[in-house]
Structure 1
């Protein structure tokens, strides 16, 4: 079938087109992630061995360029087009594999992405952001998006919630502009939040993105569809199971479609077995997610559209209010931290002057060496404290404040729409009477 015939096929309202999508956080940190090389090989075997090949694959935490090149080479026959997104110190970790030619790419780094001194967390060094690819499949312009939001680390005390809210806001605003001009947007990735969390609600209600898990009629037996810290995963720690016995669903595939087409999720499942064949470990500490979408020309249903408009309006209002509250709390946290670093810098300076005075006193060479070493440590601490107080904290404050002000502008818009909607409903009700 030629491209022209394929394009004609989708114009037939009685015919549909299927698109198969796969997303996975592969947990690919060199020298840290256990069994990484064997798992990457197994992932490549799955991508090439499935009887219904994927059209688009989104991977996260591909921190080794060697791993990306290995995967790209292995899947080149079915997914000949791919792109790795470079960012930050170690790269973004995100990449996209495509069956159709990639026309354009873009990467938007998040304005907030953790703290530089949280070395063991590592998010700040990862350069996470929003990865875009433009492609066309069978005549349909498609926008592919891959991302990986900041990790949570602690359910009870989430110090990064305002960072993830800022990231979700950036995604939603960029997507509100970027999706137009494309008939279909497919968005996959690791959001590090559940459906009850503010970042998820902000992202979905502020963009109109459809969660394919919720859109699919068939649900897993556990009713959760967990993708992380699941009881069947070999890498799930016992502590995580005590907090969430069934695991958490934090990996997603979303879609948005223009008014010209309608999309339905036919399949949403986890195609990877619990263990790599002939091995005692899983493919990753996350579960892979497969989605099969059916797209065809839209047949309008005004009554359903009106109902959806009403529900989205209310849900969007609540999500924006909750996100604004998180930002307000985040600003208080930033202000408190900035003051702490300022006092710490002052203390370091006083200690530096004290140690410097002791060094100038005539004393034993051994003692002078110890004091000189201590002076170096204090100088490093002083420089770090000054940077955090005067540079990083101001950057963090600006990013959170920008998010909060943007949310308030959106709230004003939504309130006006709500008032207009209620006025229209009131007039309709009066006319019927």
Structure 2
């Protein structure tokens, strides 16, 4: 095992590797691999999305094998999930978990259901201690085909997917491991999906740690317009807002006329940095925890974050993907030394520090209080984040200082498990609305099957009585056969898909109601749960629930 790292460099990139659809796929993927191999700083962990073929995966692996000798290509559903993880350190364990709510097979032209979207999980060991483990969660959530509007019928899918990955990251943090959640989340900052992750998992959005005032969407989005900020330039959107998607500097967002200016032997076409950027936004994220502070003797903090992989293909002149990468560097800070602050604490926090130090009398209490003060300042800065319920910290083997620090963390972190009441209510309303839609679909498609079956039987009876008019019989059999085929497909959809999705919605609703009950108990401070309100979904299958 190499010497323990003091910094971990990570990168996430949507490669746009759709077979038969993505333009110049092979050339771009090969160049992505080459650029990863010469990147500075060298990445230690890379999460890739939309890498749908093993041919493309191995094209990248061949070029990165010396700096990222370990890798995993994840298989899912009929067309594959398009997820891969590369690592400098051994991957001890991996899992591909499909989302319970995962698109619709009826929308075959969109393909989300057929690729089996989910979470690629990898457990990576970077040192000898049991807690020297990084748990990586790489995902590509459902695309917002309907613009992410309140009536977006896929919004419920993305909310459920955020809920699922938040549970996975929370579990990893409670095991005392460093957590990395990376990928194309198809959400904008501070959206409901984003709030679910940062509220229900002890992780931070790395970009907002260092850029807390960055945009919350493209300039045209109502949430961003409400901030009354000037429309950003292309450079500002990249450097400050982390807009790795849809900006004017990405050639795949250019018009067809502009793209014709690119190609082999053609002069380089540049975009002025002061170009106004109306559409650039952040869809790609790095979420991170701190690891178990008492056991590790320190914490992983966010040191740097940036948009990367912006170079053009050296011959073709095009961007390497329709997304840019998001890169982050985590640094380990020991609690034995004064933590390095990313920015100074607020005057209010500084005043609290002076007051608390004045009240300390004994030497041991001074050590404990100063540690708590530093921890609180770090929590305020957003650089430290520790699991609130880690069970691996053993009181009998810990020092008084670490024990007090850990207890203080637990008190500080309780709020990470709950959303505001209004968010839970909105989420339950969304689930209920979507469930009604699926119940209607189940009813209509089931009815279609029985109507098609009735028409087929009636046609066969009609053929019996038409006598010698064989052409009429042929038409009746042809039409009824086609109708029965379509009706059978709808019947199977009703039985196998819509029934299953309604059951998944029931599970999701129960979890949301249960979380709301816990949040209410935490607010009251009594630790007791109120009775959970019965689910509103109709009990379609009470016989086996």
- What TM-score range do you get, normalising by the shorter chain? 0.7 to 0.9
Aligned to 2:41: 52
Aligned to 2:287: 254
Say whether residues 1:403 and 2:508 are aligned partners.
Answer: yes
Secondary structure at the aligned position of 1:97 is classed as: strand
Aligned to 1:290: 327
User: Of the candidates 34, 37, 43, which is equivalent to residue 32 of structure 2?
Assistant: 43
Aligned to 1:270: 307
Secondary structure at the aligned position of 1:221 is classed as: helix
Secondary structure at the aligned position of 1:270 is classed as: strand
Q: Aligned partners of 1:292, 1:400: CA distance in 2, in Å?
A: 37
Q: Aligned partners of 1:310, 1:69: CA distance in 2, in Å?
A: 44
State how 1:341-356 maps to structure 2 within 5 Å.
341-356=445-460
User: Of the candidates 99, 106, 111, which is equivalent to residue 88 of structure 2?
Assistant: 99
Aligned to 1:221: 236
Deviations 1:376-422 (A, max 9, x none): 32122111221222231111111011011011111111111111199
Shift of the 115–359 alpha-carbon distance from structure 1 to 2, 3 Å rule, reads: farther
Aligned to 1:122: 111
Aligned to 1:230: 247
Secondary structure at the aligned position of 1:171 is classed as: helix
Q: Aligned partners of 1:142, 1:406: CA distance in 2, in Å?
A: 27
> Any unmatched runs of 5+ in structure 1?
11-16, 423-433
State how 1:330-349 maps to structure 2 within 5 Å.
330-349=434-453
Say whether residues 1:385 and 2:490 are aligned partners.
Answer: yes
Out of 188-197 and 96-105, give the one that drifted further.
Answer: 188-197
Shift of the 124–224 alpha-carbon distance from structure 1 to 2, 3 Å rule, reads: same
Give 1:77 deviation, angstroms: 0.5
What is the aligned residue count?
Answer: 407
Contact kept, 8 Å, 1:23 with 1:189, in 2: the verdict is yes
- Kindly indicate whether structure 1 or structure 2 has the higher relative contact order, using CA contacts under 8 Å at least 6 residues apart: 1
> Any unmatched runs of 5+ in structure 2?
215-234, 257-276, 336-370, 380-407, 528-545
User: Of the candidates 426, 432, 451, which is equivalent to residue 328 of structure 1?
Assistant: 432
Q: Aligned partners of 1:363, 1:125: CA distance in 2, in Å?
A: 47
Out of 255-264 and 81-90, give the one that drifted further.
Answer: 255-264
User: Of the candidates 137, 140, 143, which is equivalent to residue 148 of structure 1?
Assistant: 140
Say whether residues 1:159 and 2:153 are aligned partners.
Answer: yes
Say whether residues 1:419 and 2:499 are aligned partners.
Answer: no
Q: Aligned partners of 2:254, 2:472: CA distance in 1, in Å?
A: 47
Shift of the 117–217 alpha-carbon distance from structure 1 to 2, 3 Å rule, reads: closer
Q: Aligned partners of 1:421, 1:213: CA distance in 2, in Å?
A: 36
Shift of the 47–79 alpha-carbon distance from structure 1 to 2, 3 Å rule, reads: same
Largest Rg, 1 or 2: 2
Shift of the 274–329 alpha-carbon distance from structure 1 to 2, 3 Å rule, reads: farther
Q: Aligned partners of 2:426, 2:321: CA distance in 1, in Å?
A: 33
Out of 208-217 and 318-327, give the one that drifted further.
Answer: 318-327
Q: Aligned partners of 2:420, 2:203: CA distance in 1, in Å?
A: 12
User: Of the candidates 153, 159, 168, which is equivalent to residue 162 of structure 2?
Assistant: 168
Q: Aligned partners of 2:498, 2:62: CA distance in 1, in Å?
A: 43
Say whether residues 1:69 and 2:58 are aligned partners.
Answer: yes
Q: Aligned partners of 1:95, 1:321: CA distance in 2, in Å?
A: 36
User: Of the candidates 171, 175, 179, which is equivalent to residue 181 of structure 1?
Assistant: 175
Shift of the 341–410 alpha-carbon distance from structure 1 to 2, 3 Å rule, reads: same
